[in-house]
Structure 1
Amino acid sequence: MHHLELYVRDLERAHRFWGWLLAELGYEPHQEWDEGCSYHRGSTYLAFVQAPEGARELDRRDAGVNHVAFHAGSRSDVDRLTAALVEQGGTLLYPDRHPYAGGHDHYAAFCEDPDGLKVELVAG
């Protein structure tokens, strides 16, 4: 993948959430402009752009992107990131099945970003 661009309802809030998480995953700040910012790791980058006034709320179950998954290192890395996400105010999804919500052989955390996009942190 070359890049992924996500529109967000509150750029500053997205910058705080994603900036922290992406730094933990080895991404670095890349670009910043009035309506957006981006982070890169190697040749791949993620851009976050302020959605226009009146944009509808995201429902990840509609047609389109459902979630974004990242390699997150070891199981202990996933556990550390999960605890930190909750401390940062993130919403852990499927807590009753965590960390095996993706199946008994799939160690991962599922959470939501501030706009409701599902983020998956995968061990291994």
Structure 2
Amino acid sequence: MSRALHHLDLWVSDLSVGQDEWGWLLGELGWEADVEPSWVHPDGTRLFLERSSDQREEPHDRLRPGVNHVGLLTDERPLLDRIRAESSAHGWHEMYADRYPHAGGPEHTALYLENSEGFEVEVVWDPR
């Protein structure tokens, strides 16, 4: 089986906070901690965190050119609800809560989260 994505590098302003927030979420989704600060998915895809050398005062703006958000998968529907219930205790804020779990449309089941730096993650339930 081939992978579509080899790795993703995310630059954060505070590596410790980033490790806590991303580490919790990725762990819930089955990613394993690797050489700090990185995680590996069972399919071999890797995610790396790095402290940005550009320490600007303005927050991350996902609406600027660049990556808008990261979409991650789960095949366990109850896990989506559990992540939703526990996310705020781990630095994540739910987006579009009034439309959960179909903020992306009636045929799309997902949870939209934003972390303390403004990075958005869409956790998509796909039972395939």
TM-score by length of 2: 0.87
Partner of 2:81: 79
- 2: CA distance between counterparts of 1:78 and 1:48? 23
Identical positions, percent: 38
| Alignment check: 8 A CA contact 2:7 2:46 kept | yes
Q: Indicate the RMSD between aligned Cα atoms, in angstroms.
A: 1.3
Residue 57 of structure 1: how far off its partner (Å): 2.8
* Structure 2 unmatched runs, 5+: none
In the alignment, structure 1 residue 94 sits paired with structure 2 residue 92: no
Residue 90 of structure 1: how far off its partner (Å): 1.6
For each residue in 1:80-103, what CA deviation from the matched residue of structure 2 results, as whole angstroms up to 9, or x when unmatched?
Answer: 111111232421001111111100
For each residue in 1:11-48, what CA deviation from the matched residue of structure 2 results, as whole angstroms up to 9, or x when unmatched?
Answer: 0001011111111111111112xxxx110013210000
| Alignment check: 8 A CA contact 2:103 2:110 kept | yes
**What secondary structure, in the 3-state scheme, does the structure 2 residue paired with 1:115 have?**
coil
1:1-124 correspondence runs (5 A) = 1-32=5-36, 37-41=37-41, 42-55=43-56, 56-124=58-126
Amino acid at match of 2:65: A
* Structure 1 unmatched runs, 5+: none
| Alignment check: 8 A CA contact 2:13 2:55 kept | no
| Alignment check: 8 A CA contact 2:72 2:124 kept | yes
More displaced 10-residue stretch of structure 1: 77-86 or 1-10: 77-86
